[in-house]
Structure 1
Amino acid sequence: MKTLAILLLCSLAVICLTSDTGSQPAGDQPAQEGLFVEREHASTVVRQKRAAAELSLTQLESLREVCEANLACENMMDTDGIIAAYTAYYGPIPY
């Protein structure tokens, strides 16, 4: 394990020493392209959260079982639905 850590540190040192990004003055460095992207492109790249309709019956049943353990969550589940009740009491849906 110690050998692996030493090898990792040595390889990191070699990478830092051989990179030529620090050799140019700050004013002469070219702008980094691709750092900022348009909103439309970013929305296609970033993973979107799943909608409630995409949950399977098994996933909904497991949410229902968790919510049934809490009486307030169970009452809210009957009036507002399982997704709203679970999110209100336990936070975002884990899957």
Structure 2
Amino acid sequence: MKTLIILVLCSLAVVCLTSDASTGSQPAGDNPAQEGLFVERDEASNVVRQKRAAAQLTQFQLESLREVCEANLACEHMMDTNGIIAAYTAYYGPIPY
């Protein structure tokens, strides 16, 4: 096991040293790897998944939020009066999905 760890660390060091040596000889502006680093906003919005609205949550997702909120008595009371989305957001922050 120790031999494997040493082998992995040595190979990682070799990769780091060879990558630094190859990029150090090129001028900063001629690096072809950085050409596609930035994209237009329209293109990025097509790639990045948009956040779902509260009405689009599935029944399973709403039930899991309800279970989390039931553990807190104040959140459970707010859930009964204002709804699960408002209660969860008030006590636990933005909905994770």
Q: Fold-level match, TM-score > 0.5?
A: yes
SS at match of 1:87: helix
Give the aligned partner of residue 2 of structure 2. Answer: 2
- Encode CA deviations 1:5-52: one digit per residue, 9 max, x unaligned: 2222222232234331112244xx415211111111111222322322
Structure 1 residue ranges, 4+ long, deviating more than 6 angstroms after superposition: none
Give the aligned partner of residue 18 of structure 1. Answer: 18
Q: Give the alignment's TM-score, normalised by structure 1.
A: 0.73
Q: 1:71 to 1:11 in 2, by over 3 A?
A: same
SS at match of 2:30: coil
* 1:67 aligned partner, one-letter code: C
Q: Aligned pairs, how many? A: 93
Q: 1:24 to 1:58 in 2, by over 3 A?
A: closer
Calculate the aligned-residue CA RMSD, in Å. Answer: 2.3
Q: 1:67-82 counterparts in 2 under 5 A?
A: 67-82=69-84
Give the aligned partner of residue 90 of structure 1. Answer: 92
- Residue 2 (structure 1) shift: 2.1
Gaps of 5+ in 1: none
Q: 1:62 to 1:15 in 2, by over 3 A?
A: closer
* 1:18 aligned partner, one-letter code: T
